[in-house]
Amino acid sequence: MAFMASIIVNGHGKAIVTETGMATKVGKIANMIIEDEAPETPIQRKLGQVGKILGIVCLAICLIIFVIGLIKQIEPVEMFMTSVGLAVAAIPEGLPAIVTIMLSIGVTKMAKKNSIIRKLPAVETLGSSSVICSDKTGTLTQNKMKVVEINSKDIDFTTELACMCTDCDILYQNGKTEVNGEPTEVAIVNQGLNNNKNKNELYMAMPRMNEIPFDSNRKMMTTIHRIGNKYRIITKGAPDVLLEKCHKQISGISGQATVIEKSKVQRENEKMAEKALRVIAVGYKDLDFLPQKIDTNTIENNLTFVGLIGIMDPPREGVKEAVKSCKRAGIKTVMITGDHIATAKAIAKELNILNTNDKAITGQELDRIPQKELERNIADYSVFARVTPEHKVRIVKAWQKTGAIVAMTGDGVNDSPALKNADIGIAMGKNGTDVAKNAADMILADDNFVTIVEAIKQGRNIYDNIRKAIHFLIATNIGEIVTIFMGLVLGLKSPLLAIQLLWINLVTDSLPAIAIGLEPEDKGIMERNPVNSKKGIFSDGLWNKIIVEGIMIGMLTLVAFSLGNKFFGLEVGRTMAFLSMGLLELVHSFNIKSEQSIFKIGILENKFLIGSFVLGTIVQISVVVLPSLAKIFKLVPLNQMQWMMTIMISLLPIPIMELQKKLNEVKYGKRIYPKKVGDVYVTKNR
């Protein structure tokens, strides 16, 4: 018995279905999973901790405010309601929910661009990725293979044997011939059809009796065919491996065999590989009878070398530019392939992955390097050729020891350990196995390297926007605390009532925060180094900015209240404070868009932010101008002068923050993003 979704690694067989759908073992497991909630992402856990700390601090401040109010002989009920209202408004309990919304929106956007995120934490990790370990075939290249060269004394015989040693199917549909199978083998079978060597017809004459499937460690595949009373063994695979199994080579069309000149064949292999061709070697032998045990030791030996087949797989469109973009973004691209090292180097040079000082290494050479030494020197290597799945895991772990955040691509069953060990496991959606997809954090629907780079850009933008939303929410909450606290310290009546605080928190916090989460990426987002994963969400002086901006919002609100209270009375003062705080927060949301001047980045780019500002402003003003609502919130109508004073105070965050940004430019230099010096991008430490 086998479970549904079990992976058949190799071989052939027939299966009888005994259960379907939710009645299967996997279906029963799915039933249990349906009710389970997804775990929190790292950023959500961090925010949960921050929320608890802020909650405790806010409650302590609210208690102090309540005591100060009593000392100043303010009505206990009024102070209690104000303290409770402030506590509810000031504690950012909505942060985790807003972050979840942002992550969900980001994941949806990425899915539309062929990046399917299976695990939410992957979105955060993408922004920190500093190394991409990528397969060559199908990811960096088009995976549209075509035979362009056959180096053999007998080209027809080489093509015939190569076609027979494949698992492709030739289908005839609507008058067209179509070959289905693995791209390398499809190229070989198509070449056979061009040479009048039809695999189906060959199999009728020489039926396939058995096989030793391809294995990534052996790098070979063997099929066994019956020819009359004899058997033909055909093996194809990596030239450097297959040559070790050969003792003879055909010397011409007559089929005569001579002692193999391995050095000459190896030189031909090198020449073809240097043309960026994937080279496949073909060998065979005929037996009168088969050994009792069919395995690599009894079958894959004493072969006669037939020839080399060179297959071209051109680079994908846009990959070269994507690799260049990665360099600007401080991300190293590493090619990992099973191909010959010369082929890998040729493609890597064409794509600018392998540069002057970079090294290429084979899996065989890698075996001779201790892990500690590899960890010290891993940054020197840009190409790994003839690697096994075990090598991939070693490469990932070596990079991780340097502190790098590693993204690893894979498509096969054997790639799953490396995908699991990587910080971001990326499986191929088209040609990937179910095992690889289940082990991955992200799936590429188009198997394209360019999509990985686009996903990293989106990941960086999502992380940036989460920081901006946190920045905005906590700064505005601090502004509310400062308003009440400083008002009491200065001997004033409470500038805002509990119901007014709760309204401001509801209307002017949530919508702009979500809108900030939809902010388009900065133009230079891929021209700066990756986010340091070891740094906290509040690193790089974010706490200082939050506190300063919170004090600014609080003090400006207090100015509005003081002017209204002094010249027009308490109710007008509270109405002006109510309007000012709401509008101050809405206006300040535009300052959070970027560290650059809002007049440089385009203030109208984020339509959602514009919408939240307009809607928030209309709702905030409506509470004052509509008598029925004004009565509920204990507000009074304002005259023209009072409106002018309130609006002028509400707009002050723009010039204040613009001045602060200008001072930053003077202090740290105008260039925010890296400047190219030779082949290196240098960023001033801000």
Cα 437 to Cα 369, 408, 409, 410, 637, distances in angstroms:
31, 12, 10, 9, 62
At a CB cut-off of 8 Å and minimum separation 6, what does 409 contact? Answer: 132, 133, 134, 135, 139, 426, 427, 428, 444, 449, 452
Match 């180097």 to its residue by tokens: 345
Q: At what angle do helices 319-328 and 449-489 cross, to 10 degrees?
A: 30
Nearest to 326 by CA among 674, 669, 596: 674
At a CB cut-off of 8 Å and minimum separation 6, what does 644 contact? Answer: none
Nearest to 138 by CA among 503, 436, 438, 535: 436
Do strands 332-336 and 359-362 pair parallel, antiparallel, or not at all (unpaired)? unpaired
Q: How far apart are CA 445 and CA 426, in angstroms?
A: 11
Is 135 catalytic? The answer is: yes
Q: How far apart are CA 147 and CA 86, in angstroms?
A: 73
Q: How far apart are CA 187 and CA 192, in angstroms?
A: 9
For residues 222-240, one letter each, b for 16 or more C-beta atoms within 10 angstroms of the residue's C-beta and e for the rest, the string is bbbbeeeeebbbbbbbbbb
Secondary structure (DSSP) of 518-543: TPPPPTTTTSSPPP-TTS-TTTTTHH
Cα 403 to Cα 336, 372, 379, 598, 682, distances in angstroms:
20, 14, 11, 35, 20
| H or E, element range at 247 | strand 246-250
Q: Is 213 helix (H, G, I), strand (E, B) or coil?
A: strand
Beta strands in 86-196 (DSSP E): 115-117, 131-135, 146-152, 169-173, 176-180
| Catalytic hit among 36, 135, 215, 441 | 135
Q: How far apart are CA 550 and CA 544, in angstroms?
A: 10
Q: Report, in angstroms and rounded to the nearest whole number, the Rg of the chain calculated over CA atoms.
A: 34
Q: How far apart are CA 257 and CA 272, in angstroms?
A: 23
**Six-digit token string for 336:** 């990992």
Angle at 146 between CA 243 and CA 218, to 5 degrees: 30
Own/partner long-range contacts of 201-206 (Cβ < 8 Å, ≥24 apart) = 202/160, 202/163, 202/164, 203/164, 206/164, 206/232
Do strands 332-336 and 131-135 pair parallel, antiparallel, or not at all (unpaired)? parallel
Q: Is 315 helix (H, G, I), strand (E, B) or coil?
A: strand
DSSP 672: -
Q: How far apart are CA 85 and CA 11, in angstroms?
A: 69
**Six-digit token string for 550:** 């919170």
| H or E, element range at 443 | strand 442-444
**Six-digit token string for 94:** 């909505």
CB-hemisphere CA count at 13 Å for 607?
0
Match 């892990």 to its residue by tokens: 371
Total length of the chain? 686
Angle at 508 between CA 475 and CA 39, to 5 degrees: 70
441 and 118 Cβ atoms separated by less than 8 Å: yes
Q: How far apart are CA 584 and CA 582, in angstroms?
A: 6
**Residues annotated catalytic, as ranges:** 135
